[in-house]
Amino acid sequence: MELTNVKPADGKLGIMVVGCGAVATTFMTGVLMVRKGLAKPVGSMTQYDKIRVGKGKDKQYLHYSEIVPLTKLDDIIFGTWDIYPQNAYQSAIYAEVLKEKDINPVREELEKIVPMKAAFDHNYAKRLDGDNVKDCKNRWEMMEGIRKDIRDFKAKNNCSRIVVIWAASTEIYVPEYEPIHGTLASLEKAMKDDDREHIAPSMCYAYAALSEKAPFIMGAPNTTVDIPAMWELAEKTKMPIAGKDFKTGQTLVKSGFAPIIGTRCLGLNGWFSTNILGNRDGLVLDEPANFRTKEVSKLSTLETILKSDDQPDLYGNIYHKVRINYYPPRNDNKEGWDNIDIFGWMGYPMQIKINFLCRDSILAAPLLLDLTLLSDLAARAGRFGIQRFLSFFLKSPMHDYTKGEEAVNNLFEQYTILKNAIREMGGYEADQEVD
């Protein structure tokens, strides 16, 4: 290994997951099964992908863990918060994502993962109603309660480091409001004043995590860490933040397929995307205010890949629509259906149809592993603020819109940024260009 300033991954890493539903329990069960040699971490870049380092005669292809010091799966300890009190085993069985035979070998470990009381506001997810909830006078007290949970968990489990990741439901849409979200001071005042309109519960988790020197990852499309006040806090605490929304099914396809259209200089008239899913996420998104949050994140992908300003003939008039339909019989087996109206030589129309019968939590679980391990790595490498190199894993990557920056949504450009960051942290040259 080359010379690197990254601190070693000594001791235990506590991964504290907000939400103990289908995604979280699929993730935790999988890691525990892989540790026992009973499953394979398929879909995880940190466990499988190889990156080229060096050029010419020095060229070699190495796993991430051969380039940078990643936390070993044996050193992970799980904690969680949820509005329902069932332990991770009960929740995994209830979710019906994994078969019992794939859960039972780690039943004892899962039963020990009991959710702490969640910081919850029913107005942010009206379709959910649990009783394992913190009793807080205001948002500031809510945040302080989460901070105490993190401290207590860290001490009890003898963890040297903590990462907090949101795998709970999508909150209602909170538009960025500069007078409150613009500075850390105004955000803190609003929390103390119990401004429930502008301060989402997820913001309390993010604030608490960063204050306790834990990286925070937003796995839903909520307005949480993608506001200047949180960037200020991340800078102050020197902690990494990442978000938002796990890029699992349809958007993964979109961010990989749209570049084909763009690279081949074909035109696009319209892209219609619809989803049916029946899990708790689908139930929550059946509420219009919650769907709006998801819609904004899903809509942002296409326009930054196929730019009307660059190619007005080809992309000057795209009609882009996204729909999500709650359909209980499907449970976690989501179906994403895309109808793409393209045009070619002399404007002649053609169509592409993609039907992705995916399993939401199966696709999300490896993203949680990669995001937590790489955020922990970033913290040990002294990287703080928005971690743009994690955009590959996220549906609506964070960027500094106050400075006119655009998110990178092209999957292949995102992959280059990811590889360059791993190279740099491993002491190698970041030698791939993003055009």
pLDDT (tens digit per residue) in 368-425: 999 999 999 999 999 999 999 999 999 999 999 899 998 999 999 999 999 999 999 9
- Average the pLDDT over 299-327 and give the result: 92
**CA-to-CA distance for 399 and 403, rounded, in angstroms?**
9
pLDDT tens for 270-307 read 999 999 988 888 888 888 888 888 887 777 789 899 99
**CA-to-CA distance for 160 and 150, rounded, in angstroms?**
12
- Average the pLDDT over 187-200 and give the result: 98
**CA-to-CA distance for 231 and 238, rounded, in angstroms?**
10
Question: Cα separations (Å) of 44 from 41, 103, 109, 231, 345?
Answer: 6, 19, 22, 28, 40
- Average the pLDDT over 316-344 and give the result: 93
- Average the pLDDT over 118-146 and give the result: 96
pLDDT at 186: 98
Q: Of 81-95, 120-134, 273-287, 362-376, which gets the smallest average pLDDT?
A: 273-287
**CA-to-CA distance for 91 and 280, rounded, in angstroms?**
12
Q: Residue type for 113, please?
A: I
What single-letter DSSP state applies at residue 287?
S
pLDDT surpassing 50 at residue 153: yes
pLDDT at 1: 42
Q: Which residue has 């963890």 as its token pair? A: 159
% residues pLDDT > 90 (the chain): 89
**CA-to-CA distance for 34 and 403, rounded, in angstroms?**
43
pLDDT at 61: 98
pLDDT at 144: 98
pLDDT at 267: 98
pLDDT tens for 27-50 read 999 999 999 999 999 999 999 999
pLDDT at 3: 55
Domains of the chain, CATH where assigned = 12-246+362-425 (3.40.50.720), 250-359 (3.30.360.10)
pLDDT tens for 356-370 read 999 999 999 999 999
First to last CA, the chain: 29
